[in-house]
Structure formats: C-alpha cells, structure tokens
Structure 1
Amino acid sequence: MQIKGKVYFVGAGVGERAYLTLRAEELLSRAEVLVYDALVDPQLADLVPDECLKLYVGKRGGKVSTPQDKINQLLVAYCCQGKQVVRLKSGDPLVFGRSRGEIAALQRENCNFELIPGISSVLAAPLLAGIPLTDRELSSCFAVCSGHEIKQLNWQALAKIDTLVILMGTRSLPEIVTELIDQGKDAHEPVAIIRNCSQIGQEIFWGTLTDIVSKTRGISLSPAVIVIGKVVTLGDRINQTSLSSNHLPLANKTILVTRAAEQSSKFTTLLESQGATVREMPALVITAPSSWQDLDNAIANLPNFDWLILTSANGVKYFWSRLKDVRALAGVKIAVVGKKTAATLEQYNIQPDFIPPNFVADSLVETFPESLPGKKILFPRVENGGRAVLVKELTSKGASVIEVAAYESKCPEKIDIHVWNALQHQKIDIVTFASSKTVSNFCQLVEQELKGETSLNDVLQGVAIASIGPQTSKTCHELLGRVDIEAEIYTLEGLTKAISDSCTA
C-alpha cells in the first residue's frame, strides 16, 4: 500500500535558527524534500538530513524566479510519492506568503498538508528596532499592508490609523509618502525603515514622511520593513535601555564561527551563553571519500592491527558507517585525539583505550602507552592529507602506519551571503577557527569575493582572530599574519573562555 506523503507549510521566522519554532526545527530534522524561498536563511537548510532533496524556488524582484505553477506541481508530485515535504517560507507562511494557491493545488489532489506558524517580520522588525506597535498613549491600533500594487490600497483609511507596517514597500516609498500626505497624514510623522531584520547587517533608517525619501536615496533598502507612526520615536529609547542592561562578558560582541556545513555548532551555544551574537559560516563540506575500497579492505583485516587511531569526529562517523560488526574490533586498541572525538566514539558505546593529554595529536607519540616498534596501526583520516607529522613520528618510532581515506573535506563553493555582508560592513568583532582547514578555506572564500580589488587584511581590519590551539594558530600566522586569541585548553570550552577573558581584560 502506498504511504501517503504530507506537505508542511513551515514559517522560517525572520532569520537564523534562533528565531525558528521548536515544531519547525523538528520537521526540518526529518524532512525528505525541502522546498525553500529566497529570504530563508541558507543555514536553516543545514538542519535537514544529508539525504534530503533541497529545492530552491525563491522569488526576488527583477531576478529569474521559479513560476508559481511549477512550485505547485513540485509539492503535489512529491507528496503523491509519499514524501514528507517541508515548504519553508520566510516569516509566517500566511502573511504575504502566496500559500493559498499552493494549498489549493494540494487540495485538488487530496494531498495532506499542515500549517506551522512562524515569526513574521511584521512583528519582529519593529520589536528588534525597539519600536512598540501599540502604546497606551501613542498607538491604539496598527495595520499591515504590502507595498506591491499600492494603488489598490485605501489610503484614505490607512492615513487615519495610528501605526502602519508596510512590507515589500521600499521601491514604492516615494509614492507611499505622497499618498499618506495627500490623505492628511502629518508630514512630520516619524518613519523607520528596518533593513535585514534580525541579521548581523540589520540597519535602521530614521526619518519622517518629509525627509525619509531623501535620507535613503541611492541606498538599496530591500529586504526591509517600513514602520510609520508616532511610536517610532520610542525606538531609540528602548534600544538604549536594553543595551545597558546586559553585563555578560561577550555582550555586544558579534562572533563569526567557522565550521563544517553539516555540523550544528555546540560552540555557538557556548558563545551565546556568554552574551555573544553568533553568525555561523560553513567553511568545510564533509563528504564520503572518492573510494571506500581502502577503508573496507582495512576493516576486513582489523584483526591484523594492534591500534586504531581516530583524530576527528568525522573519522569516527565515517569509519563506523563502514564497520558492519563491532566484534571485529576485538583485540584492537583505540586511541583518540580530542574530547569531541572521544564523545563521538562514546555515541557508539565504545570507550577509547588512550587519549593523549592536551587533546592534541602532537602529544600522542610522546605519551603513547606502549612501545611502538613492531606495532601495526590503522589510521582512517581525511582523504586529501592531514596529520602528516603524526604519521611521520609514529613511523620514526618503529610503528607501521596504514593510512586510509575515511572521508573527504572540501571548501564550499561560495561564502554565505549574510556572512559576507557582515564582513563588508564591519559587523564582525571576532572570527574563530577550530582547525587549520577552516582557516585556509575561509581565506579562499573571502579572496574569491574580493577578486583582487582589496586585500584580506583590509576586510579583517579591527577583527580579532581566535584560534583553538597551536596547529591552527600556525596556519593563522601563515595566511592571516596574526593570532589575537589562543585557547590555553584546546577545546571549544577553552576557546570560549579565552575569548571571554580577552573581552573583559
């Protein structure tokens, strides 16, 4: 019997994961097909399973867009195939979200669907600008409208409403101002335009109906929310109060965390607990190796090895994906480098026989618990190199090391657009690196955007460089010319402490 699929219309909220509902996050974690819009934060796509099919169907003014009929057909087709489909829409799916036509298409084919609310920029943008939509003295009501097709709106009625929130209206701003003034709105009525709501690059343009057009002339405002009304005057006061109340060590610091695209960041949680605003940048793409043959052959001959050395969580994950029977490890001792690697191993109910002190590979040979001459060691590692010094030192001590590719580590094709905007506008205070590969990939991605027009050092002027340990710091010095913060204990907790200490020194 064919299992029925279902389409979930999920509100993505106004930006990153922090503004996603728990229900939305749970649905993303088990989605089989993801159909998402232009204004959805790309990092939300990292929450879906690796095997999930991702389909971008964004619509942006002046750019090539996916026809609505095509989107409708996709939703119906995958639902009829029995798939669990997440239709991810920015904000709330029923606030100017074109959902009605998609729902009608599903209903015609008797397809199951469900609506999941999201935080709309209608509410979030004014709030994040410190502007209350209602106020006992200044605003007893507010109205929400779209800036598209403004001639269809009843401006005579809108001009009488205390507070107006206008979405998608920046292109029509002069006409909106003219309509309101012509219908009797005070020309000195306060106006705020909140661009990139909730993002690191969020900007607020303050003015009145008289001068807001001239103040923003020549500035690309989209995507933005326009708020018009006397409550706009309260924005600065509320923002100043909130800023002075935060005493955490990383309050008012924006930190860029470079990480693997597929991995959620425990580091982000640690930094946010200290008051930081965190932006995550995928700087590594982890995939299967070009061939499983060497790893499979090594696993088939595990009884011939004395030790298995694992130096990364990815190495553990991909090794276990090919290990068919854990009993094959009987008689083989396991050494791991790093707490994170050990924690990943524990997920498979395996305790390592040895973890070197300081959590770094350099100390593994010096403190190895057995005499190395004659020992046969299996070392699953990243395909394109890595840990060459470790292999050289083990071999020099008399061990026989068999290196096999367990996974591949690549640089993403392009830098995240939100991160690039934040770097360009000097909205990043600290950039962090937890591996040498993230340093080199970060440099590659940034220089790819610069196209030789300016230097990497110019982009990072005033930005502190934070490193998790000596090996990563060495690469920072080679490629960036400096390291400003280095963890004393080479863990994410240690790096968080080092950053916090540097900001309170």
Structure 2
Amino acid sequence: MTTKSSGRVFLVGAGPGDPELITLKGRRALERATVVFYDHLAPVELLDFAPASAVRLYVGKKRTVHALSQQEISTRLIEYARAGETVVRLKGGDPYLFGRGGEEAEALAEADIPFEVIPGVSSPAGIGAYAGIPLTHREHTSAVSIVTGHDPDVVDWNRFAHAETLVILMGLSCFDQISERVIRAGRAADTPAAAVRWGTRADQQVLEGTLASLPKQIHAAGMKPPATIIVGPVVRLRSQLSWFEKLPLFGQRIVVTRPRGQAQEMCTALRDLGAEPIQIPAIAIEAASDTGALDRAIEALAAYDWLIFTSVNGVRAFFERLDTSESDLRALRARIAVIGPATRQAVEAAHLKVDVTGDEFVAESLAEALDKFPLANRRVLLVRAAVARDYLPEFLRSRNASVDVVEAYRTVAAPGLVESASRLIENPPDWITFTSSSTVDNFFAAVAPEKLAPARMASIGPVTSATLRKYGIEPAAEAVQYTTAGLVAAICASVTPKK
C-alpha cells in the first residue's frame, strides 16, 4: 500500500436491510471512502455510494461462515488506516447494538487510529416498524429488552422472561430452547410472538403466533436466519398497523435493465411501492465512435431550422461537444423538437425552450406533431444514437426537408451483463423490465428467455414490445404512457400483491 499522510475509520450503521434507511452522515462517509469493509447484512446497494475507485472488501459474518475472523477484520482496519486510507466499516443495523462495533472501536483506540461511529437504524427498531409492531406503546408496554439468542446457555432467561417487550436477535435456530426456558421461567405460553425474517426488505417474511406455538410455525415454514423474534402484547397490533406488506408491489423482485446511471429514479419508484429492484444494466452509453459529424454540425449550427433530440443521452452528448467547440448557444436559431418528457426536461435544464413534443413518446407521434409545420427546404439536425430507427429521418425527407442525422453516442452491451443475467437462472425474478429494443436484444443475447421462466416481461411501449415478440415473448405489461413511470404503473396494474 502507498503511505499517505493519515487515515481514519468510520464505523457506519447500514440499517436493517432497506438501503434507504442509512443516515445522511453514513452516506456522506461512504461518498469519501477509499476502502469499504462490508458484511453479510449490509445492503450491497449502498456500495454504489462509494467512489468507483474505492476498494470493496467483503468480510462475511454469517452465523457459521466468516470470510475473516473478528481479529482479522480489526487488524486490516488498522493496516488500511495506517496506510492513509479513509476506511468505512459498513455494518448491518447499528454498530454498537450486537454489531461488535465496540470491539472494533477498542482495537482502533488501542492502535491510536482516529475513528468515528455513525449510528444506524437498529434492526429491532427498523424491523418492528416495517412489521407493524411498535416495540413500545403507552397502553401495552413501557420497556423493551433486547437479547442475543445465539447461545441460549449464556443468557439468564429468568431475568428476561417477564420483559414487557422481549426482542431476541440471532435466536431463530435456538428458539425451541428459548421458548421452553422463557415459559419455564413463568411467561405465559399464550403470549403473542412473531418472527420476522429479512425485515424492511421486499422479501420480508413474518410469522405470528404465541410463545408456545411459534417454534412449530418456524419449522413448518422452513424459516431460516437472519430473523428477529418479538415477544409481547404489542405483537397483537400488527393486524392493525402493518403497512409495508400492503404496498402494491410488496415482495415483487423486478429487474431494471436501464443503464446504471439512469436507473435510480425507476428503482426508487419500485422500492417506494414495496418491490425489490434488481439493477442489471443491459446497455451502457459510450461516446460516438467518431464525433466529427456532430462537431461539424455544431460549427454550422446557425444554418439549421430545426434541432431534434430523441433521448436524454443525445442532449447530454450534444452539449458536451458544444462546450468543447468554439460555438455556444448564441449560434442556435433553430426550433427544438423532442421525444418524451425526460428529453424535454434535459433541454429545458439548459435554459432552452422546446417548441414541439409528441403526444406519445415515439417517433411516429413526434412526426405527426412536426407535420403541422412547413418542412420543405428546411434544414434539420437530428441528434441521436449510432443505431436507431429510421422512421423519423425518412418522414422528414418525405416532406422534402434536408436532414443531417448525426451520431452523438453509442449504446453497447453493459460490462458483466452475461454474468449478472445468468445469476437469475437459479432464482428468477418476478418481472424483467425493458425500456428500449436494445435492452431486449442485449439481455437475451446474454441469457436465453426460456431459462428465465416464470419471470414476466414488461415493456415501455409498442416498439419495445415488438422486439420482445421477435423472441417469442408476449409482454405481460406494456406502459400506456411510454415512460418509466408509465412502465411502473403498468406493472402495478398487472400484479397480484404477494401475501
């Protein structure tokens, strides 16, 4: 390692599972990290907040499988910090609540390593909230006891048996013994109890019963760790207060194939509806293979009557080349036409007005809107991807317009697509979403569609649907509005919520 001036370690609570439950301060630490240690319970989506150059180290900490021992983790934290790195130790839940953060902080203090502890939403608090079980309630309980059930023999269950609300972490595998001991210590066998697996995530699973019945229910359901058990009268409130599992897309695993830098809005919308978005970009955006045509068009910008954009990527590429040229927006006298609201917003963000937007977000609709204007002998600059449908330029030429079609960017198969798509074979998602014909072609070049059954396919519009049919697939949902919001709405209309 290269020696640097000084290093620092941040012990960061990642929260109980939902990646949006990380704190703002925790996210800020990740954004400046040069090394990230993450464990089994930390949402992997949070790693995207770290710089692309940051080293990412998985340290495990499953119940029976540890990638590194606790001593090894502490030693490596110290080594990286002494080498001048900004280290984030990302831990599921809260670092100081059964997260062994105290041990790591002690090791850092003894080694004279500067550190900060950034609390996280603890698993009891987060899981109780998402399961509809308040851990305290004025009419039911005013105290909570949190116990580790990893080794029932080291806990004095006589002390905890009568806790108004008893939360047992890491105790699922031993709950038969724990239940017997708590009942033997005098707790009523019919005390309400619930087991929550993967709380706060889209695959959250909840079993409700009593202190006596829950062990059999756990075995019958085949529930596996990680899970949290809550015992007490507050469990009865779940029937009234459960909200997460009532979301329209709760439990749905939905693949998003948009480019990684453009997928966040759709992923957020899906997560807000209870789904688990799985980012598997099918395309990546690259610069044009030759920018000469676009550069020459920008030099002659004042000669064009119309400037047409068909995507946000085209807008971005155009302004990037404009910024590197000797021209600026003062040369633009053309009217501007776009396909779709996102493209319109990208143009307006550059403080330009859009003159024409089609009613529907396809080339045919934009052509219909443009047909209301005189086009004969007008010069048109069409900025688009290297490979695109020819409908729009052919329409313009049929109206005797002079059209320059310039390549502003290229779409290519995303790196790692074959590996990522192939992992779905063992555990197919509920839905795979497609937002363009290129996402369809690239995705099914990586994995044959028949290997993904029973996943359902969702299309952003008729052009993408036609490409799906080319592979013998009838889309189970097609957006009415040809946007990602329309695509999410189409899935909502087509799904039966999971129970």
* TM-score interval, smaller chain: 0.7 to 0.9
Contact 2:269 2:488 in 1 (8 A): yes
What is the CA-CA distance between 1:389 and the residue it aligns to?
5.0
- Aligned counterpart, 1:224: 227
Contact 2:263 2:279 in 1 (8 A): no
1:418 & 1:132 partners in 2: Cα distance?
36
What is the CA-CA distance between 1:201 and the residue it aligns to?
1.8
Change (3 A) 1:349 1:5: farther
Which of 92, 108, 118 matches 1:106?
108
What is the CA-CA distance between 1:324 and the residue it aligns to?
5.4
Change (3 A) 1:376 1:234: closer
Secondary structure of the structure 2 residue equivalent to 1:131: coil
- Aligned counterpart, 1:279: 276
Q: Identity over aligned residues, as a percent?
A: 32
Which of 460, 467, 490 matches 2:482?
490
1:26-68 Cα distance to aligned partner (Å, 9 max, x none): 4444544433222222333334444444333332234451344
- Aligned counterpart, 1:311: 310
Contact 1:477 1:483 in 2 (8 A): no
- Aligned counterpart, 2:21: 19
Contact 1:8 1:115 in 2 (8 A): yes
Contact 1:199 1:418 in 2 (8 A): no
- Aligned counterpart, 2:464: 472
What's the TM-score once normalised by structure 2's chain length?
A: 0.76
1:6-405 alignment to 2 at 5 Å?
6-63=8-65, 65-80=67-82, 82-136=84-138, 138-217=140-219, 219-239=222-242, 252-254=248-250, 256=254, 258=256, 259-263=258-262, 265-267=264-266, 276-284=273-281, 287=284, 289=286, 294-295=290-291, 299=295, 302-303=298-299, 310-317=309-316, 325=324, 327-328=326-327, 331=331, 336-347=338-349, 358-364=360-366, 367=370, 379=383, 381=385, 385-387=387-389, 399-403=403-407, 405=409
What is the CA-CA distance between 1:144 and the residue it aligns to?
0.9
1:327 & 1:352 partners in 2: Cα distance?
24
Structure 1 counterpart of 2:24, one-letter code:
L
1:431-474 Cα distance to aligned partner (Å, 9 max, x none): 754434455667788968x8x4xx62x444xxxx6543322333
1:293 & 1:5 partners in 2: Cα distance?
42
1:75 & 1:309 partners in 2: Cα distance?
53
1:387-424 Cα distance to aligned partner (Å, 9 max, x none): 46556767887645343644534247336999997x76
Unaligned runs of 5+ in 2: none
2:100 & 2:244 partners in 1: Cα distance?
37
1:152 & 1:309 partners in 2: Cα distance?
71
What is the CA-CA distance between 1:109 and the residue it aligns to?
4.7
Which deviates further from its counterpart, 148-157 or 173-182? 173-182
What's the TM-score once normalised by structure 1's chain length?
A: 0.75
- Aligned counterpart, 1:481: 474
What is the CA-CA distance between 1:176 and the residue it aligns to?
1.7
What is the CA-CA distance between 1:225 and the residue it aligns to?
0.4
Change (3 A) 1:408 1:135: same
- Aligned counterpart, 1:413: 419
What is the CA-CA distance between 1:293 and the residue it aligns to?
5.3
Structure 1 counterpart of 2:261, one-letter code:
E
What is the CA-CA distance between 1:165 and the residue it aligns to?
0.8
Structure 2 counterpart of 1:435, one-letter code:
S
Change (3 A) 1:362 1:166: same
Secondary structure of the structure 2 residue equivalent to 1:227: strand
Contact 2:16 2:122 in 1 (8 A): yes
Which deviates further from its counterpart, 339-348 or 291-300? 291-300
- Aligned counterpart, 1:435: 436
Which deviates further from its counterpart, 307-316 or 188-197? 307-316
Change (3 A) 1:320 1:220: farther
Secondary structure of the structure 1 residue equivalent to 2:463: helix
2:113 & 2:296 partners in 1: Cα distance?
47
Secondary structure of the structure 1 residue equivalent to 2:238: helix
Secondary structure of the structure 1 residue equivalent to 2:173: helix
1:26 & 1:170 partners in 2: Cα distance?
34
1:322 & 1:85 partners in 2: Cα distance?
38
Structure 1 counterpart of 2:462, one-letter code:
P
| Matched residue count | 476
Unaligned runs of 5+ in 1: none
What is the CA-CA distance between 1:317 and the residue it aligns to?
4.1
Structure 2 counterpart of 1:413, one-letter code:
E
Contact 1:46 1:262 in 2 (8 A): no
Change (3 A) 1:177 1:483: closer
Structure 1 counterpart of 2:274, one-letter code:
T
Structure 1 counterpart of 2:474, one-letter code:
G
1:73 & 1:342 partners in 2: Cα distance?
53
Q: CA RMSD in A?
A: 4.4
2:364 & 2:71 partners in 1: Cα distance?
58
Contact 1:314 1:407 in 2 (8 A): no
Change (3 A) 1:285 1:204: same
Change (3 A) 1:267 1:292: closer
Contact 1:252 1:276 in 2 (8 A): yes
What is the CA-CA distance between 1:481 and the residue it aligns to?
0.8
